[in-house]
Structure formats: C-alpha cells, structure tokens
Structure 1
Amino acid sequence: MMQLEGKIAMVTGGGQGIGRGIVDRYLEEGARVAIVQRRPLESALQGHPRVFGVQADLSLASAPADAVESAVAHFGGIDILVNNAGIMFERSVPAIRPEEWDLMMALNLRAPLFLAQAALPHMRRRGGGSIINIGSIEGLAANPGHAAYCATKAGLHGMTRAMAVDLGEDNIRCNAIAPGWIDSELSETYLTTLPDPVAARGALNRLHPLGRTGRPEDVGDLAVYLAGDRSSFLTGEVIVLDGGRTAKLPLPS
C-alpha cells in the first residue's frame, strides 16, 4: 500500500527545487496535493488529476488563510502541511535594509505559522495531521552575508518545537527538515559562475562524507516518512539532512 493513500497535503513553493521533490514523492505515494506558489503551475502539474494549484503571495498577511481555504474547498480537508516556500538573499550586516528583513521574516517565518493556524481546525476535524517545516543547516551554522536568512531558519526550528508542544494534544505532529546543499537550478547556476566549475563541484562533493550533494527527492523521501503514519510518535524534531556535511570537521588544506 502507498504510504500517503487518501491523505491531502499542502506544499508551499512546490513547483520547483526541494518543493517539487516533495510534491513528486507525495504523488507517487498516493496523496492529493495543493501547491501554493506565486506563479502558475507548469503544464505537467496542471494536468495531474491529484494536483490543485493555488496562486498566492505568502508575504501578504491575508494569504495563508486564503490559500488554506482554497485548498480545503477543492479537496475537502487537509492532513499534511509542508512549509517550504521562502527566500534567501545575501547581505552583510551593515547592508541589510529594514524592508528586506521584513520581507524575509514574512515569507520564511510568519507565513508558516499562519498557514499552520489556518490548517489547524481542518486537521482537527480529520483526527490529526503532520506539519513539516523546511528549515536549513543555516539555522544551526552560518555562511557569510546570511544574518537575516539564518535568523529566519533558526526561528523556524524553534517554532517547530513550540508548535509540537502546543498541538500534540490534537494529534498534530510538527517536525522540521534542515537540508544542506540540495541540487537545484539556482545552485547549478551559481557553480557555473565560478572560475573552475568542475573543480568547484569536486570540492563541494568532498565536503560531504557521502561524496555527493543532495537531490530534491532526498528531501522528498524524508518528507514522506514524516507525513505518514509510520512516524506517528515523532514530533518536535529538527532533522538535519546534509549527507554528513555538518558532522565532518574541516582540516587545513
């Protein structure tokens, strides 16, 4: 039997990258999936009988509740919420502008809370649910110029634990996945801008004890487990998924 047969999921930012890896795995496991993002779904997803697209700008305060209600009106409920949508930009501490900080907080931290708030009564009616927040290893450590981004991801990790404590009595579990380097169009474009992309890829792979970077479906596999009944006693955890990168102490080169 498929692990998510009969379940209804909402995945924000589900049309590409990590979100798409989660959506593809959820569909393979039998779920119906509402995808929330700013732009329309690509044709392959639009034509899928178990996919519903919700166009929304989650930086707006009213958008989370409206998105949940649209999904519930279409599918009749919600069992799984994956808070994946977010933004990242690089700014040194002296260069961060208040409006940039506010936008990142609105998308990366505020929207997940209020999406969960809107989904809560629908999960209660269905006897419980699973909330999965996509954090980052940058909620645990930092790259240069990422003060605002790290703040949002560390905040999301803390909020995950607090939500697990508050919602456990409703049989709603809340966990976070903290991915490391996951291959995407953005990461591949970044590598091509470096003086020697081949050497950079090799160096990047060597940072990981497994000898490779992550793939969106790696995150999707873990998200399937966290959404399904086989993880029914797992809540309040931040699970690092980085191929061992943060477990490996660097040596002088």
Structure 2
Amino acid sequence: MLHVKSIPAFNDNYIWLIISEDNRCAVVDPGEASQVIDYLKANSLTLSCILITHHHWDHTNGIDDLVRYAPNAKVIGPDVHPIPQRSMAVGDGDQIDVFDHRFLVVGVEGHTDDHIAFVGDGKLFCGDALFSAGCGRLLGGTAEQSLNSLKKLASLPIETQVYCAHEYTAANVAFALTVEPENDALHLYREEVNRLRAQGKQTLPSTIEREKRINPFLRTQEPTVIQAVAGRTAADDELAVFRALRQWKDEF
C-alpha cells in the first residue's frame, strides 16, 4: 500500500504526499512548495509527479518551484484552465499510473468547471469537490454538476479513504447538525472532531461510509434532509434540495 503524509498550508489547506515503499513521492495540490521540498529532502524522497485537482491558486502556486526542484516530475491536471507546467492533461475516465498503482480520474465538476479527483489504492484525493460533512462552494460549476459529482463519489466502495484539501470539518459538522439535529452519527462525529482538533490533530482522512452517514450533501434523498429545507424551496426533487442546502450553507 501507499503511505499518505499531510503537509498543512495556509490557514486550513492540506497538501497530500503519496509515498511509495521505494521512496518515490507524488504531491497533490501543492499551493506552496517550500515545506514540501523540505520534507522531500529530509526524508530522501524522489518527486515523481504532481497531481492537480483544479486550477485555484491555493492548489497550484507551488508547482513552478517544485518543477524547478525536480525537473523530471510530471504535472498531471485537468485540461480546462491553464495549469503551470502541466505535462499531462486528463479528464473523466482516464487512468494514470502513480508508481506501480493505477489511479482513475473522475470528473467532479461543480466547485469549478475543471475539477477532477484521483482514485486509487483505496484512496480518494478529491480537492474541494467533497469535504468531510460538506462540499465545495459553486465557484464556476453548477449545482447540477456538483450533485452529479457527489453521486459519483458516493458510489465508490464504502471503505475508500477520503483525502480532501481543507480542514473544514468542525464548521461543516456544525452546519450538518443544524440540518439533521437528530442524527446520532453526527453527534458522535462531532465529539471525535472536537477531540482531535483540541489535540491539534487533523480530522482527515474520512471514509465514504462515514460521509454517507453524516454529510447532508450526500443525503439529499433522506426525509430528514428534505424536511429541513422544506421552507427554503418550493420543490422537493433532489436537485432543488441540493440547491437549497448549498445556499443555506453559503449563508451559515
């Protein structure tokens, strides 16, 4: 199996390092480079590739410096917006090799119109498309795209580990409990999240199984969620529920 290391960046970003047994490394969404390079040097890791989920600066600003440090590293990202130093453009359904492991590229537009995710070795690297107990704001994509993307991710094996790009879990859980105040799984998760954060620890990775129990954006067909947004939308179809949830969260 591959080992995953998190490197905190900015206020709440995570840069993920995927590390092989023979000390090769892939970096996911490097918004910064210096701390990544320091970790590579300190652990004698060879940077093989850089995986980009979407074009936002806090996921791409470190690419140039990393490529200067490791000129042979491939930069793999979506072919919609310009990505610095991109050497391979991929889209939904493509497959790539990360060391000796095959990863599937999944189109997950919604947060942006170019968003992709990478799935392999039982791990999902989903950028800002899916958060623990939440999902990304609509900053270029549509509500319909985001809903369809989340359905794709929810269909992954339930044991899949979810590595998203921000430590938003505590705030997301607070909103989710407003939507489903009687959700026992959410109450238990809040206790776990509060304990971890009090200890200065990250809440990630989550799992698809957990998210299907506690994430309102994956629960838009649940009667409790439908009822929670009843006063916010005249329709009760799944897309209307999702739109109402997303607007509610934006205002929360």
Normalised by the size of structure 2, how large is the TM-score?
Answer: 0.36
Which is bigger in relative contact order (C-alpha 8 A, separation at least 6)?
1
Give 1 or 2: higher helix fraction.
1
Give the alignment's TM-score, normalised by structure 1: 0.36
Higher share of residues assigned strand: 2
